[in-house]
Amino acid sequence: MNANNIGVLFGGAVLTETLFGLPGIGREMVEAVKVVDLPVVVGMVLVTGFFVVLANAVADVLYAVADRRVVLA
Protein backbone atom coordinates (compact mmCIF):
# COMPACT_ATOMS: atom_id res chain seq x y z
CA MET A 1 0.00 0.00 0.00
CA ASN A 2 1.36 3.38 -0.92
CA ALA A 3 0.34 6.82 0.30
CA ASN A 4 -1.74 7.47 -2.81
CA ASN A 5 -4.28 4.94 -1.56
CA ILE A 6 -5.38 7.31 1.22
CA GLY A 7 -7.73 9.01 -1.26
CA VAL A 8 -9.18 5.63 -2.20
CA LEU A 9 -9.67 4.91 1.51
CA PHE A 10 -11.77 8.05 1.91
CA GLY A 11 -13.76 7.17 -1.21
CA GLY A 12 -14.43 3.73 0.21
CA ALA A 13 -15.57 5.32 3.46
CA VAL A 14 -18.15 7.35 1.55
CA LEU A 15 -19.50 4.24 -0.14
CA THR A 16 -19.45 2.01 2.95
CA GLU A 17 -20.98 4.55 5.31
CA THR A 18 -23.71 5.45 2.85
CA LEU A 19 -24.66 1.84 2.06
CA PHE A 20 -24.69 0.62 5.66
CA GLY A 21 -25.97 3.82 7.29
CA LEU A 22 -22.92 4.26 9.50
CA PRO A 23 -22.09 7.69 10.92
CA GLY A 24 -18.85 9.22 9.70
CA ILE A 25 -17.16 11.65 7.35
CA GLY A 26 -18.35 9.84 4.22
CA ARG A 27 -22.01 9.88 5.14
CA GLU A 28 -21.76 13.49 6.31
CA MET A 29 -20.29 14.43 2.92
CA VAL A 30 -23.13 12.72 1.04
CA GLU A 31 -25.77 14.40 3.22
CA ALA A 32 -24.11 17.82 2.74
CA VAL A 33 -24.10 17.36 -1.03
CA LYS A 34 -27.79 16.35 -1.00
CA VAL A 35 -28.84 19.55 0.80
CA VAL A 36 -26.25 21.73 -1.02
CA ASP A 37 -24.45 22.74 2.19
CA LEU A 38 -21.39 24.24 0.52
CA PRO A 39 -19.39 25.20 3.64
CA VAL A 40 -19.54 21.60 4.88
CA VAL A 41 -18.61 20.19 1.46
CA VAL A 42 -15.67 22.57 1.13
CA GLY A 43 -14.52 21.77 4.67
CA MET A 44 -14.69 18.02 4.05
CA VAL A 45 -12.76 18.34 0.79
CA LEU A 46 -10.09 20.44 2.51
CA VAL A 47 -9.74 17.97 5.40
CA THR A 48 -9.55 15.01 3.03
CA GLY A 49 -7.03 16.78 0.81
CA PHE A 50 -4.93 17.70 3.85
CA PHE A 51 -4.70 14.09 4.95
CA VAL A 52 -3.79 12.91 1.44
CA VAL A 53 -0.97 15.48 1.22
CA LEU A 54 0.18 14.65 4.76
CA ALA A 55 0.28 10.91 4.02
CA ASN A 56 2.31 11.52 0.86
CA ALA A 57 4.77 13.77 2.71
CA VAL A 58 5.23 11.21 5.50
CA ALA A 59 5.74 8.44 2.93
CA ASP A 60 8.39 10.51 1.13
CA VAL A 61 10.28 11.22 4.34
CA LEU A 62 10.13 7.60 5.48
CA TYR A 63 11.31 6.46 2.07
CA ALA A 64 14.29 8.82 2.30
CA VAL A 65 15.11 7.55 5.80
CA ALA A 66 14.89 3.92 4.71
CA ASP A 67 17.03 4.39 1.58
CA ARG A 68 19.94 6.81 2.05
CA ARG A 69 20.39 7.12 -1.73
CA VAL A 70 17.16 9.12 -1.91
CA VAL A 71 17.72 12.85 -1.44
CA LEU A 72 14.86 15.10 -0.41
CA ALA A 73 14.92 18.26 -2.49
pLDDT digits (tens, 9 = 90+) for 20-72: 888 888 888 889 999 999 999 999 889 888 988 998 889 888 888 888 887 77
The confidence score (pLDDT) of residue 69 equals: 86
Parse the chain into domains and list their residue ranges.
5-66
* The one-letter amino acid at 9: L
Q: Burial of 8 by CB count in 10 Å (0-12 exposed, 13-18 middle, 19+ buried)?
A: exposed
d(CA 68, CA 58): 16
Nearest by Cα to 4 from 66, 59, 63 = 59
What's the predicted TM-score (pTM) here? 0.73
Nearest by Cα to 48 from 3, 11, 73, 2 = 11
Q: Is a pLDDT exceeding 70 seen at residue 1? A: no
